[in-house]
Amino acid sequence: MQVTTSSEHPERLLPLVLDWYARHRRDLPWRVPGTSAWAVLVSEVMLQQTPVVRVEPAWREWMQRWPDPAALAAATPAEVLRAWDRLGYPRRALRLRDAAIAIRDRHGGTVPRTTAELRALPGVGSYTAAAIRSFAYGERDVVLDTNVRRVLARALDGAALPAPSLTRAEERRAEAVVPADPATSARWNIGLMELGALVCTARAPRCGSCPLAHTCAWRRAGAPGDVHAARRRTQPWQGTDRQARGRLMAALRDAVEPLAVTELPDWGDETQRDRALAGLVADGLVEVTPQARYRLPEG
């Protein structure tokens, strides 16, 4: 017998998601009513590929130090990278500073609210722009992070996980189920994100605690496996150039003066160290002084 997917009655999901979110949402500082669009932008950039437990204290310190775009725009890249500390993917920090400069210079210090203007900011893609419009400005938009994609794939499509890359069909399906009312659509977006983060997780979903369990197309289909498993790439850490870059950045963040290459961490692989160091220089995360020493960028 063919399983009827929830996509035939997605309106049934709305009250279930909103009620669950009202009772189980986390008390996160960037979700407090009245939070500025700048604060939301900072949180969204920090949360990319970094868990909430690491982001929350960093976000609080960041917002105390740089409460608006003009404050961050006046900081040096070195100051920004040191404050970013171990959040990972430090290019995000420099892009955030570049975005702050653009907001100061092109938008009078106010985070823009249109999709086109947001997407024109350095480091702001479709997801971040939609999140700012929805969560900061209360606009109706389609917010599709990994958590939302996973919940919709299971609840509506009967798939264990969404495709590795976002598809146009997926975007159209998500658009079709976003409530028409802007305020409700914002709660729908954040409710799906929270449900995916806390219950409908990738590896160990807590279906017994899920408000959508009785109508979930994936469960009704017998919880089939991931048809895209062969296409997903794992991201190892130990021994990789990414780990090497992290070691070098940590040393330079802690350094009081520029370091000679012989003063940088040595883990027995000079070729990898030199390759990682050259990559950091090329990415603008490290600069070389006239004395051939290395430091975080000052200007």
- Whole-angstrom Cα distance, residue 34 to residue 112? 16
Are 31 and 206 within 8 A, CB to CB?
A: no
Give the residue from 77, 191, 76, 111 showing the smallest Cα distance to 145: 191
287: which strand partners? 295
Structure tokens at 18: 């909103």
Torsion sign, CA atoms 233, 238, 241, 244: positive
Burial class (CB in 10 A: 0-12, 13-18, 19+), 281: middle
Cite the active site residues.
Answer: 44
Give the residue from 146, 143, 138, 151 showing the smallest Cα distance to 126: 143
- Whole-angstrom Cα distance, residue 38 to residue 34? 11
